[in-house]
A and B are shown apart, each in its own frame.
Chain A
Amino acid sequence: MLRERVAQAAEKAVREAEIHLPPDFLRALEKTISKETADVAKAEYENILENLRQADSLSVPICQDTGLHIFFVTLPPKIPLSADIYEGINDGLREATKDIPLRPNAVDPLTRRNSGDNTGEMTPAVHIRPGEKFTITAVPKGGGSENMSRLSMLLPSETEKIKSFVVETMLVAGGRPCPPVVLGVGIGSTFDGVAALAKEALLEPVDSMDEYEQELCDAVNSLGIGPMGLGGDFTCIAVKVKKGYCHTASLPVAVNVQCWVNRRATVEVDTEGLL
């Protein structure tokens, strides 16, 4: 029962994420497009907007890299944490892979054997937190932008270098991660924790930034890389920063690069009869 309900919600969340971009991102994208002045960049945006219309009207994935999958779950106190939740998510993802369909992207890291259904050892990643409602958020992550993500263990005296590291990440990446990007920046925590912070920063609404995020975003945009590396005023739609306390001897920084197909969707699990 629980496993089936979770599977249904997970499949629905994946489907929604693959076909429609979240409203906060669309608002931020429209704002970026309205301010662009370069002709080549404007033509790229025409393709992007037409693509979103086609994905919607044909009910097909926005991008053929339908991603490797990450799920964030909030669990209310009355639902016990059990294997059913993990299994249900796997069931839902397998069904989505067959039915939407999704490209099977999950392979063994060394033999490169493809599981064929987007699941495999340690994937999809599932992060479970306590919450008031039982929700599943699907975050399909494309390989092109994930490959450009970086992590650095800076010295505690190097807070000024954070900006340079973020900008350098996009300088190295150029057009490869499908800009205009959203950057999730983790600052602090530990070696493993900072990568998680960078990923979780991408869950935050992207249509507003604080002063520091705006400063990082402006610095990245000054590079002029533009959509797809073809030049333009905007390389970055938004930077989102998430911080965590770190060791007094450490300053970990991670940048998770997200392409313009900034997918995420949340679906509530039907809990009737479960609670």
Chain B
Amino acid sequence: MTELNTPLGDEVLSLRAGDRVHLSGTIFTARDEAHLRMIKDGVPFDPKGAAVYHCGPVIKGSRIVAAGPTTSARLNNICGFLLNEGVRAFIGKGGMGENVLGALFGKGVYLAYTGGCAALAASRMKLKGVFFEDLGMAEAVWVIDMDRLPLTVGMDSRGGDIYSDVRRRAADRFKMINNE
């Protein structure tokens, strides 16, 4: 288990798909609306070495109640600029497209967090602030202090991608089932 702390540096480039990591430090949530706003108005936080979490949390007052990952693939076509700005890691579920795998090359990683595990995530998070609060609870950019969230490297910075390997094997197996 590799311990990672934000801001992230070149250490993420040596991670390989399938590695397990703990991530600690400041992270930022962003979903569809936040990405569109950032493309228009700029990134409201320092993107250098940042980790962006695809998550629409449930917040009550200053408490994070639930904060599991959302489907990252929805952001395939609108997240590339963040890597150019210095973002080193995306966190989410389900993996991302080939264009994102290409954009991660030599720059960053995609970290898989277990879908639905919102209570475990919340138990390891403290709320620090918020940007774009007018977008609503799920779509705002929440600033979170995180303590050792257990993650799996789903896509690495050298083209390694667990999801596409699994998809390829599944497609082969489906062909066999249809010919049985």
With a cutoff of 8 Å between Cβ atoms, the chain A residues found around residue B114 in the complex are 44, 47-48, 51, 227-228
B45: CB under 8 A from chain A?
no
- How far apart are the CA atoms of A223 and B170 in the complex, in Å? 4
Q: Are B94 and A222 in contact (CB under 8 A)?
A: no
With a cutoff of 8 Å between Cβ atoms, the chain B residues found around residue A61 in the complex are 58, 65-66, 118-119
Contacts A40-B162, A168-B174, A223-B173 given; does A64 touch B112 at CB 8 Å: no
- How far apart are the CA atoms of A230 and B170 in the complex, in Å? 11
Interface residue count for B (Cβ, 8 Å)? Answer: 47
B163: CB under 8 A from chain A?
yes
One of B94, B117, B119, B122 near A175 (C-beta < 8 A): B94
A133: CB under 8 A from chain B?
no
A162: CB under 8 A from chain B?
no
- A68-124, CB < 8 A from B: 101-104, 114
One of B55, B65, B119, B154 near A230 (C-beta < 8 A): B154
Taking CB as reference atom, which chain A residue is nearest B150?
A: A47
- How far apart are the CA atoms of A231 and B152 in the complex, in Å? 12
Q: Are A230 and B57 in contact (CB under 8 A)?
A: no
With a cutoff of 8 Å between Cβ atoms, the chain B residues found around residue A231 in the complex are 162, 165-166, 169
With a cutoff of 8 Å between Cβ atoms, the chain B residues found around residue A126 in the complex are none
Q: Are A175 and B68 in contact (CB under 8 A)?
A: no
From A52-60, A206-214, A246-254, the one touching the partner chain is: A52-60
- B52-95, CB < 8 A from A: 55-58, 60, 65-68, 70-71, 73, 93-95
Q: Are A63 and B116 in contact (CB under 8 A)?
A: yes
Q: Give 1 or 0 for each of A209-245: 1 = CB within 8 Å of chain B CB.
A: 0000000000100111111111100000000000000
With a cutoff of 8 Å between Cβ atoms, the chain B residues found around residue A219 in the complex are 177
B123: CB under 8 A from chain A?
yes
A178: CB under 8 A from chain B?
yes
Query: In the complex, what's the smallest C-beta–C-beta distance from A236 to chain B, in angstroms?
Result: 12
- How far apart are the CA atoms of A114 and B139 in the complex, in Å? 12
A6: CB under 8 A from chain B?
no
With a cutoff of 8 Å between Cβ atoms, the chain B residues found around residue A40 in the complex are 18, 152, 162
Q: Give 1 or 0 for each of A124-147: 1 = CB within 8 Å of chain B CB.
A: 000000000000000000101000
- How far apart are the CA atoms of A47 and B93 in the complex, in Å? 13
B130: CB under 8 A from chain A?
no
- A163-177, CB < 8 A from B: 163-164, 167-168, 171, 174-176
A4: CB under 8 A from chain B?
no
Query: In the complex, what's the smallest C-beta–C-beta distance from B154 to chain A, in angstroms?
Result: 7
Taking CB as reference atom, which chain B residue is nearest A103?
A: B58
B167: CB under 8 A from chain A?
yes
- How far apart are the CA atoms of A65 and B138 in the complex, in Å? 10
- How far apart are the CA atoms of A58 and B113 in the complex, in Å? 20
Query: In the complex, what's the smallest C-beta–C-beta distance from B16 to chain A, in angstroms?
Result: 12
Q: Give 1 or 0 for each of B150-178: 1 = CB within 8 Å of chain A CB.
A: 10101000000011011101110110011
Q: Are A103 and B137 in contact (CB under 8 A)?
A: yes
A62: CB under 8 A from chain B?
yes
A261: CB under 8 A from chain B?
yes
- How far apart are the CA atoms of A51 and B117 in the complex, in Å? 5
Contacts A61-B66, A164-B178 given; does A47 touch B162 at CB 8 Å: no
Q: Are B58 and A64 in contact (CB under 8 A)?
A: yes
A8: CB under 8 A from chain B?
no
- How far apart are the CA atoms of A46 and B1 in the complex, in Å? 14
Q: Are B118 and A228 in contact (CB under 8 A)?
A: no
Contacts A176-B71, A224-B166 given; does A114 touch B136 at CB 8 Å: yes
A to B CB contacts below 8 Å, 26 in the list: A51-B114, A54-B119, A54-B123, A58-B119, A61-B65, A61-B118, A63-B116, A63-B117, A63-B118, A103-B138, A104-B137, A144-B115, A168-B174, A171-B171, A174-B166, A174-B167, A175-B163, A223-B174, A228-B94, A228-B114, A229-B94, A229-B162, A229-B167, A230-B166, A231-B166, A259-B116
Taking A48-B114, A178-B115 as known contacts, 7 extra A-B pairs with beta carbons closer than 8 A to each other, sorted by chain A number, are A47-B120, A58-B119, A64-B55, A144-B71, A174-B94, A178-B93, A230-B162
Chain B residues close to A by CB (< 8 Å): 18, 20, 55-58, 60, 65-68, 70-71, 73, 93-95, 112-123, 136-138, 150, 152, 154, 162-163, 165-167, 169-171, 173-174, 177-178
